[in-house]
Structure 1
Amino acid sequence: MVMGCGMAKSAPRVNKFERAMRAALLIQRWYRQYVARLEMRRRCTWNIFQSIEYAGEQDQIQLYNFFGYLMEHFTPASSERNLISHIFRENGICRDIEWERYFCYKSVDVPDVYPGPHLNFPMTFCEASKLVEAFKHQQQLHSRYVLQLLGETWRLLKILPNVNHVSTCHTKEITICGDLHGQLEDLLLIFYKNGLPSSEKPYVFNGDFVDRGKNSLEILLILFAFLLVYPNGVHLNRGNHEDHIVNLRYGFTKEVLGKYRAHGKRILKLLQKIFSWLPLAAVIDHKVLVVHGGISDTTDLNIIAGVDRHKIVDILWSDPMAQDGCMPNEVRGGGCYWGPDVTQDVLARHNLELLIRSHECKQDGYEFCHNRKVLTIFSASNYYEVGSNRGAYIRMGPDLVPHFIQYQSSRTCRELTLRQSVGRTERSALCALREQLFVHKSDLICAFQQYDPKNTGVISLKHWASAMEEVLKLGLPWRVLRSQLVSSTKHGLMDYQDWIRELSINEPKAELSNASILETMYKNHSNLETIFRIIDTDHSGLISFEEFRQTWKLLSSHLQTEISDEAIADLALSMDFNKDGSIDINEFMEAFRLVDLSAHAQEGGGGGGGPRLACCVEGGTST
């Protein structure tokens, strides 16, 4: 009886426990599904950002190759060749004594009211750390000190080898940093967490110091300062963005000219020279190769050690791939893709254990591949958008085992929940993608019509996805993105004409009679700006109508399209808002900035309405 009563009384407790366990399992399952969905959205967002970035780089290299073709095949007297000849003049033509004159700083006076840091040379640890503190507080270094620092750096780089050999010992570790891309806050955070460079704390910085971020010059000056203080403890590898043509497209040229109006052109010329003398690789303890991009099936360190380092592509632009072999890197347009077999062969041939490279943004700041024989390190956090990725750096001791330190420099990011972070980056990625849809509108219409032979105005979602990839060639999961990009469907079909109308633009204030030129301008926005800045040889920010005509002639040659002089003249007149006979490059490019109207409507409390993009003419000062 007693036992029976006891069992009867415990039954409800068992049932209550079981219900609690079931509830916990349901919550756990729901949470796992929730996290999985967020992760899928995050990866899709990542693919959008990276695909658009690489498409831009492919465009840039094609333009670079086009310039090279003009130099090789056009006669010396041809107008097209003359327009761009100055960018291909070899730095080595000038004798060192002539370059010394370029670097001369003594004629530049520092006024008494100058509030920034004063530097003394030769550089000391105190001077270098003073520079770090000044930039931390957003002070600007006077151009006299910039010129002096660049001159000292050039003299040191000239005597450095192509491949630096670095040694660890039992009392110290070496720190390896990847791309920084002008994000000074990331470099300052690395120094805060890891310590400033010194004899006991050596660093390898693996290229891409500049472009995209707003403090590229400050990063360079800090790294050059510590290089001068510790030439055996600070090692700088060249990246693919340490190139004056790339800088024209991705912001560094504009940054320098904006910060140093009086001496910016001279500073850029000197940096062009310095970039060409940066070392190409570092080898740690004869076992670990550190290079910015990667290798190919022809990589030989002995050849790299003796090559003219002014002309290098493969090791600056290459990326690893999962399958064996080696093939041209058509996604970026330069360098190659190399597989695990190539890694194995190159490492074995040089008795190496590990290849450390950068060049690719990774969500966690680092990533292994090729059986953990290749390690990518990327140090610019929040690269695509706040919350898009962590930055990381490596600490490595004599055991040559890499230890990773991850971080995110943005306080805003640390305050966001996972859902908020994913949502923010997703909105930014979709906005960038919608811009790509707009600039390829005509090509998309043609592609859709191929799947609509009866001209019904509707196509299947499968055909929509196929056409999107055929035109944009971004390698994106279009079916997954369909719900984000297509507002309405019926019976598995979409009205592509309505969808295209959603991508229409408002007419700009400048009246353009030739719609095809307008679309060409949008599609080749970055190419146009690059050509503008090449033709603007004095970096004045202004080009004449004739230079404007020459710019379009170069672009039409590059695109193999015909644009009449009358159409170009009409466009130039419509752009000359103040009627002074010249065009401000920066204002011109800003005037045709694409604006996502749906995002603006949401910010202002209005409704959505789909991915409508507007062309806005906005005033503003030139930088």
Structure 2
Amino acid sequence: MGCSNSAAKEAKKLETSVKAALLIQSWYRCYKARLELRRRQALSIFESIEYADEQDQLQLAKFFTFMLENYTQKKEENSVYQSIASIENQRLDTKTVLRMVEVPDSYEGPRLMFPLTYSDVLLLIKAFKENQILHARYVLEVLVEAKKVLKQLPNITHIMSIETKELTICGDIHGKLDDLFLIFYKNGLPSGNNRYVFNGDFVDRGKNSMEVLMVLFALFLVFPNDVYLNRGNHEDFLMNLRYGFTKEITSKYKKHSAKILHYLEEVYTWLPIGTLIDKKVLVVHGGIADDTDLEILNKLKRNKMRSVLMPPSTPSEIELRNIQFPYNFQTSSMSLDQMPKDDWDQVITLFSASNYYEEGSNRGAYLKLKKDLIPRFFQYQCSQMVKSKTLHESVNIVESTAFRILGEKLIARNSELMQVFKMYDVNKTGKITFYEWGKAVGQVLEMDLPWLSLCPRLAQRTEDGYVYYKMGFKKLTAINAPKQVKSGMFQTLVRYRRDLKIIFNVIDKDKSGLISLEEFRDIWKLFCSHYGIKIDEAHVDQLANAMDLNHDGSIDFNEFLTAFDVVHRLGDEPKP
């Protein structure tokens, strides 16, 4: 009898334990699901902002085109035109440049021998793992040698499969050296039997863009028939000004940065546009359209496209515009939304930079192809920080960064947002519905995001489900403005900051962080003219003198931003 009671108690305890375990397991799954939902929401914010940045780049392209068109007829000593034209036209004698850059005996980094061998590649990788910086002389020599080989390649590189050879395809690396080394660790270094295609965007964003570029170019020089490099939209000197690679070069190679930047610009233009595998698989950066035609791409003079922000404009450079092809390459009468789902499944987007937006934000991936051309995917995430943080901490970091950047977008368009909010507020109550708020924000920012679910994180709500739009947004950390900038004009500074940084860097030819008063006057008159900011030239001259606080005849970037704020405000003032 006693044994029976004891057994029953044990069975009940076991049942209770199992129920508790199942309850905890269910709770944890729900908890992880909520975190994953937050993480994906943050990623959708990052992706939408990325696409919005592309539109900003188009606007910047228009400005540079406007700048060149309006200054080509000016007198030769014009400082602004010289700054832009020097990027477009300057050529340096290679032998002279290399003689000017000597490697001192005190240099303890890797010493390369040309032509490069596999041993040099291993030496380079070892040095970069130890955080050593390659001397400017070797950087220049790698660029010079890479250009020689790249010039001999067609616009579209053709690869034919061999039974014993696999092919690995990598997407964007973006200066993430650890990701590149992790790929090599998992998949092996490139060799005659281990071929690679690197599909552009080697640089920008990450802090080791130069090291990534040097490793890839060195491997390309040692294995020209087994390492293939495509050009991405970040292999572009103006994009590098905007997204960080130029700053990295000037920081690491202060004395010789100008030489490196000039040679780098030239090498970019000779990178192939894409890679065609067995005449069946096209690897190209940025995707394809329904009217993509390889015959047209093969006839382009790719070295004429020095920047996507400054397209070629002379007759000799745009001769393909009037080419008549024997067939209409827009052969499909079917719209994209009518295409069978299986056709869409044949397009793969590949991204190889893990933790791209923030630590823990995403995994990287590469794929492998064999003779059957069936892709096999491999994912990874390279970060010591991610391992030391909990899932909750990692998601919080990603989410806070996403909302900070989104906050900058909202602040930049605050005036337009308020105008649209007021249109919905017919009775002038100062509040609108969630739906109206989401519709207004989506309309102004032109970003496809779940604004209704984001609203509680961004806007001031009422208890009855409305939004107090006049109270602005919740505390969203954006960029720090210079002290001289008034809060009412902060949105304009945020909106144009990146474009202004590129313009400032272009003018700042010696990379000193300063521009002359004359350069300042010229660029602001042009900027105001292009963006339709009506302002008396005397105001710009007066402002230029006022900005030079220490009377040294130059202006730094923060002063430059402050000046723009004042110019924009003056342009907005009603005329008497």
2:184 corresponds to 1:191: yes
Report how far residue 557 of structure 1 moved.
Answer: 3.2
Report how far residue 132 of structure 1 moved.
Answer: 1.3
Q: Contact between 2:167 and 2:368, CA under 8 Å: does it hold in 1?
A: yes
Q: Distance between the aligned counterparts of 2:95 and 2:84, measured in 1?
A: 17
Q: Distance between the aligned counterparts of 2:217 and 2:284, measured in 1?
A: 19
Q: Map residues 267-416 of structure 1 onto 2, 5 A cutoff.
A: 267-310=260-303, 370-416=343-389
Tell me the equivalent position of 1:169. 162
Q: Contact between 1:71 and 1:81, CA under 8 Å: does it hold in 2?
A: no
Report how far residue 586 of structure 1 moved.
Answer: 7.1
Tell me the equivalent position of 2:56. 59
Q: Map residues 12-411 of structure 1 onto 2, 5 A cutoff.
A: 23=20, 25-72=22-69, 76-77=73-74, 83-84=80-81, 87=84, 100-101=93-94, 104-310=97-303, 370-411=343-384
2:515 corresponds to 1:522: no
Report how far residue 532 of structure 1 moved.
Answer: 1.3
Per-residue deviation, residues 582-607 of structure 1 (Å, max 9, x unmatched):
112378669999xxxxxxxxxxxxxx
Report how far residue 428 of structure 1 moved.
Answer: 1.2
Helix, strand or coil at the partner of 2:279: coil
Helix, strand or coil at the partner of 1:405: strand
Report how far residue 110 of structure 1 moved.
Answer: 1.3
2:534 corresponds to 1:562: yes
Per-residue deviation, residues 490-531 of structure 1 (Å, max 9, x unmatched):
322233333359679999664358954x54222100011111
Q: Contact between 1:522 and 1:592, CA under 8 Å: does it hold in 2?
A: no
Q: Distance between the aligned counterparts of 1:399 and 1:481, measured in 2?
A: 45
Q: Contact between 1:294 and 1:314, CA under 8 Å: does it hold in 2?
A: no
Q: Contact between 2:408 and 2:494, CA under 8 Å: does it hold in 1?
A: no
Report how far residue 407 of structure 1 moved.
Answer: 1.4
2:418 corresponds to 1:445: yes
Q: Contact between 2:459 and 2:468, CA under 8 Å: does it hold in 1?
A: no
Q: Contact between 1:390 and 1:408, CA under 8 Å: does it hold in 2?
A: yes
Q: Contact between 1:513 and 1:570, CA under 8 Å: does it hold in 2?
A: no
Q: Contact between 1:294 and 1:315, CA under 8 Å: does it hold in 2?
A: no
Report how far residue 228 of structure 1 moved.
Answer: 1.0
Helix, strand or coil at the partner of 2:194: coil
Residue 422 to residue 510, structure 1, CA distance change in 2 (3 Å):
closer
Q: Distance between the aligned counterparts of 2:348 and 2:562, measured in 1?
A: 39
- Which residue identity does 1:149 align to in structure 2? V
Helix, strand or coil at the partner of 1:202: strand
Q: Map residues 398-477 of structure 1 onto 2, 5 A cutoff.
A: 398-477=371-450
Report how far residue 387 of structure 1 moved.
Answer: 0.4
Report how far residue 413 of structure 1 moved.
Answer: 0.9
Q: Distance between the aligned counterparts of 2:337 and 2:167, measured in 1?
A: 24
Helix, strand or coil at the partner of 2:376: strand
Q: Map residues 466-505 of structure 1 onto 2, 5 A cutoff.
A: 466-499=439-472
Tell me the equivalent position of 2:324. none
Q: Distance between the aligned counterparts of 2:448 and 2:412, measured in 1?
A: 18
Per-residue deviation, residues 223-253 of structure 1 (Å, max 9, x unmatched):
1111111110111000011111211211112
- Which residue identity does 1:275 align to in structure 2? Y
Per-residue deviation, residues 558-587 of structure 1 (Å, max 9, x unmatched):
432224445545654565454322112378
Report how far residue 165 of structure 1 moved.
Answer: 1.7
Choose between structure 1 and 2 for higher RCO, CA contacts under 8 A separated by at least 6 residues: 2
- Which residue identity does 2:503 align to in structure 1? I
CA RMSD of aligned residues (A): 3.9
Tell me the equivalent position of 1:546. 518
Residue 500 to residue 297, structure 1, CA distance change in 2 (3 Å):
closer
Q: Distance between the aligned counterparts of 1:513 and 1:571, measured in 2?
A: 16
- Which residue identity does 2:40 align to in structure 1? R
Residue 503 to residue 456, structure 1, CA distance change in 2 (3 Å):
farther
Per-residue deviation, residues 450-497 of structure 1 (Å, max 9, x unmatched):
233443333333322222223222222122112222354232223333
Residue 503 to residue 445, structure 1, CA distance change in 2 (3 Å):
farther
Which shows bigger deviation, 579-588 or 284-293? 579-588
Residue 293 to residue 511, structure 1, CA distance change in 2 (3 Å):
closer
Residue 553 to residue 340, structure 1, CA distance change in 2 (3 Å):
farther
Q: Distance between the aligned counterparts of 2:231 and 2:479, measured in 1?
A: 44
Tell me the equivalent position of 1:617. none
Helix, strand or coil at the partner of 1:479: helix
Which shows bigger deviation, 280-289 or 241-250? 280-289
Report how far residue 99 of structure 1 moved.
Answer: 5.5
Q: Distance between the aligned counterparts of 1:369 and 1:577, measured in 2?
A: 64
Per-residue deviation, residues 140-197 of structure 1 (Å, max 9, x unmatched):
1111111111111111111111111223333332211110111111112212222222
Residue 75 to residue 277, structure 1, CA distance change in 2 (3 Å):
closer
Q: Distance between the aligned counterparts of 1:555 and 1:569, measured in 2?
A: 14
Q: Contact between 1:160 and 1:279, CA under 8 Å: does it hold in 2?
A: yes
Residue 480 to residue 542, structure 1, CA distance change in 2 (3 Å):
same
Residue 115 to residue 564, structure 1, CA distance change in 2 (3 Å):
farther
Q: Distance between the aligned counterparts of 1:506 and 1:567, measured in 2?
A: 27
- Which residue identity does 2:465 align to in structure 1? G
Residue 312 to residue 569, structure 1, CA distance change in 2 (3 Å):
closer
User: Which consecutive residues of structure 1, in runs of 5 or more, have no partner in the other structure?
Assistant: 317-338, 347-367, 594-623
Helix, strand or coil at the partner of 1:282: strand
Q: Distance between the aligned counterparts of 1:291 and 1:54, measured in 2?
A: 18
- Which residue identity does 2:232 align to in structure 1? G
Helix, strand or coil at the partner of 1:34: helix
Helix, strand or coil at the partner of 2:42: helix
The alignment covers a number of residue pairs equal to 542
Per-residue deviation, residues 186-231 of structure 1 (Å, max 9, x unmatched):
1122122222222222211100011111111111111111111111
Q: Distance between the aligned counterparts of 1:227 and 1:586, measured in 2?
A: 41
- Which residue identity does 2:434 align to in structure 1? L
Tell me the equivalent position of 1:619. none
TM-score (structure 1 length as normaliser): 0.77
2:553 corresponds to 1:581: yes
Q: Contact between 2:482 and 2:562, CA under 8 Å: does it hold in 1?
A: no
Which shows bigger deviation, 537-546 or 170-179? 537-546
Residue 132 to residue 532, structure 1, CA distance change in 2 (3 Å):
same
